[in-house]
Amino acid sequence: MSVSKQVRCNPKTGEQHEKWYVDINFEHADGRVERFRKDAPIQTRRDAEQYERQIRSALQNGTHKKEEPKPSPKFAEFAEEFVSTYAVNNNKKSEVATKRTNLKNHLIPFFGAFCLDSIGSREIEGFKSLKLKERYNPKSINNYLTLLRKLLVVAVEYELLKVVPPVKWLKVPPADFDFLTFDEAGRLLAAAEPEWRTMILVALRTGLRQGELLALSWDDVDLVSGRLVVSRNLSGGEITTPKNGKTREIALGDEVLAALKRHRHLRGEFVFCTEDGSRLTKGQCKHPLRRAHKRAGLRHIGWHVLRHTFASHLVMRKAPIKAVQELMGHGTVTMTERYAHLSPDVRKDAVRLLDGYVNTASMSAVEVAK
């Protein structure tokens, strides 16, 4: 046996103590001799001898010094790390709050006790079935699945998981949206209170999100060249970047430009603000719009309907979908294509492009036949 006992002395205290250790000279298959000297983890002769046998067996099997795979953490445990590291470092404050809420209310109750490497297609399909039984709509369930997949992707990046299981999203029907007709938009503007009319007009003619309107500063507006740059957004009570992180430029029509020139004030940096120059809140904007649509005899609408109206009117006036996408700041053209049905003439015009070509080709064929 290559097990020995040694008396050691603490240099600081002078106290002596016994230490069992293993000392092995192991000859490899190629004749190379390697020495292994280790303290026994449990300090008894019997345990030291057992430890020596384990090391010798591992050396002979070629498994010595090869680390055992780390156990995969529980979903609930890693969810907290995911939010406090990855989400906080890479997402806006409002997005972090949304992730935390969706994890707490939906994903952790179902997946919390699972180890990450035990989550597969079967478990994911079970989660989808549960949420459908609980009458959640497919779009919301897909949002939860997107968060689940992102968490698992980060777990792979952190080397806590080898592969991400496949995730199949539910089919989502096209979302319904409301918009004002040209006549309704005119009635809304006529019914708006003077101090709110410019803000409503800008929303209708630029498509800015409500948060972008509230974060708009005079530095973003060029009243000489007639344009504005969308570079900020109010989200979760904080000024951040626009929704997709990209700035965009919007040309101002004559009516909007004239209204902004009349609206120009010296109360502060924000274009739309309170009397003392402080930033408006979303709550302060709710009732003026409600009063306007009631006076105009319209249905209940929110500020986002004004954004939909902008895109709808552009498409109805035959603006190219790609241009509408850029003006709206949509990340993909798919989001913009939901407005395409509002321009039925586009399909007719496209087909008519073939008329001249077909007639010319037919005439050429006739000439050849002659």
User: 220 and 243 in contact (C-beta within 8 Å)?
Assistant: no
- List 3's β-bridge partners, or say none: 22
Is beta strand 227-230 parallel, antiparallel or unpaired with respect to 248-251? antiparallel
Q: Which residue has the higher pLDDT, 21 or 106?
A: 106
Whether the model clears a pTM of 0.75, i.e. scores above it, the answer is no
Q: Lowest-pLDDT range, 101-110, 117-126, 166-175, 299-308? A: 166-175
Distance CA 224, CA 76 (A): 55
Q: Which residue has the higher pLDDT, 100 or 51?
A: 100
Residue 352 has pLDDT above 80, yes or no: no
Residue 8 has pLDDT above 70, yes or no: no
User: 193 and 288 in contact (C-beta within 8 Å)?
Assistant: yes
The confidence score (pLDDT) of residue 220 equals: 96
Specify the DSSP class assigned to residue 1. Answer: -
Q: Return the percentage of the chain with pLDDT > 90, whole number.
A: 62
The confidence score (pLDDT) of residue 369 equals: 52
Residue 110 has pLDDT above 70, yes or no: yes
Residue 146 has pLDDT above 90, yes or no: yes
Q: At what angle do helices 303-316 and 194-206 cross, to 10 degrees?
A: 50
Q: Lowest-pLDDT range, 100-104, 116-120, 203-207, 350-354? A: 350-354
Q: Edge-to-edge strands of the sheet including 227-230?
A: 221-222, 227-230, 248-251
Kindly list the distances between the CA atom of residue 241 and the CA atoms of 251, 326, 336, in Å, as whole numbers in the listed order.
20, 16, 21
pLDDT averaged over the chain?
Answer: 87
Token reading at 241: 């970047």
Tell me the HSE value of 134 on the side-chain side, using a 13 A CA sphere: 12
For the chain, how long is the longest CA-to-CA vector? 120
Distance CA 249, CA 225 (A): 12
Q: Lowest-pLDDT range, 170-184, 235-249, 334-348? A: 334-348
Q: At what angle do helices 182-191 and 194-206 cross, to 10 degrees?
A: 160
Distance CA 328, CA 338 (A): 13
Confidence of residue 342 (pLDDT cuts 50, 70, 90): confident
Token reading at 277: 């120059």
The confidence score (pLDDT) of residue 343 equals: 73
Residue 46 has pLDDT above 80, yes or no: no
Confidence of residue 1 (pLDDT cuts 50, 70, 90): low
Residue 365 has pLDDT above 70, yes or no: no
Q: Tell me the average pLDDT across 325-344.
A: 88
Confidence of residue 30 (pLDDT cuts 50, 70, 90): confident
Residue 67 has pLDDT above 90, yes or no: no
> For 256-281, how does the pLDDT look when each residue is reduced to its tens digit (9 = 90+)?
999 999 999 989 999 999 999 999 99
H/E stretch holding 127 reads helix 121-133
DSSP characters over 194-258: HHHHHHHHHHHHH---HHHHHH-BGGGEETTTTEEEE--EEETTEEE--TTS--EEEEPPHHHHH
Residue 204 has pLDDT above 80, yes or no: yes
| Domains of the chain with CATH codes | 3-61 (no CATH), 75-157 (1.10.150.130), 182-342 (1.10.443.10)
Distance CA 332, CA 328 (A): 10
Residue 362 has pLDDT above 70, yes or no: no
Distance CA 96, CA 88 (A): 6
Token pair 């929110």 in the structure block, residue: 302
- List 16's β-bridge partners, or say none: 9
